[in-house]
Amino acid sequence: MLTRPRTPLDLIPRRVRVHAVRRLTGSMLRTTFRDVDGADPAAPSSLAALRAPGPEDHVKVFLPDPATGELHAPTLAPDGGIQRPTAVVSISRECTVRAQRTVDGAAEVDIDWVLHGDDGPASAWASRAAVGDEVVLAGPRESVGVPEGVDRLTVVVDETGLPAAARWVEAVGPDVRVTAIVEIGDEVDEAFVEAELGHADVEILYRTDGPGQLVEAVRSLGGLDDGEFLVALGEAGELVPVRRYLRRELGARPDQLAIRGYWRRGTVNLDPDEPLDPSDPD
């Protein structure tokens, strides 16, 4: 049985500013955050105190009001949860922590964004992000690590799951064989995907070739080895048949799988912790 270590963390809102913006590929962009000017780097609310060691650890990013540009910061509720301010616009999105580091004594956090025009507030904000812009990062509430004893890894993702997939590859290290199936749009560069996934054996699928490609690609892999772990992250509707195949037809053990919908067509701000398939929850 594969066991993933879990570490509870303090849920602390952190006000940060954009330190750098980098276009990664046609529809993906990376923002690097540092503490706001004047922040105490030794305080619990500093970026140096943010812990996100697990490959899928994510934060809730609170964005400015699109109409006014004003950032309404959340606070901690008495029960330890996040309290949004009332009577104002409070927009947030769940984002994977792509990387953390310290540069010249300053803590930095990278977050990658998938851009899709101005249809959503997160994409609209990210596409215009500039040095000095401020947001609030809250979380993670819990860190979930790599399974102990994993000797083979398969990742099945689209662009939204690519940051977590890259962290998975880094976390298991070069001695673990990794197979990656990645579905992308035409505007994403294959070379970027392959560079992000390091030593993984990468198969790239194009979304324009039609639905259902992910489950067929997973079927072609055959069964899971005893010490193999499969991570699937992306559009929930595409991952439902993947999960059904793995659980019902292949008989994969629950401890061998981590399958989460990061978004769902027609749904605004999907909670990745919601059941992927409400008709067949774990």
pLDDT (tens digit per residue) in 217-235:
999 999 899 999 999 999 9
Q: Which amino acid is residue 160, in one-letter code? A: T
Section 127-137 average pLDDT: 98
Supply the pTM of this predicted model. 0.94
Domains of the chain: 6-143 (2.40.30.10), 146-263 (3.40.50.80)
Q: In the structure, what pLDDT confidence band is assigned to residue 276 with cuts at 50, 70 and 90?
A: confident
Share the mean pLDDT of the chain: 94
How big is the chain by its Cα radius of gyration, in Å? 19
User: Which tokens sit at 94?
Assistant: 């769940």
C-beta of residue 72 within 8 angstroms of C-beta of residue 83: no
Which segment of 25-34, 42-51, 76-85, 177-186 scores lowest on mean pLDDT? 76-85
pLDDT at 281: 60
pLDDT at 265: 83
Q: In the structure, what pLDDT confidence band is assigned to residue 282 with cuts at 50, 70 and 90?
A: low
Higher-confidence residue of 274 and 212: namely: 212
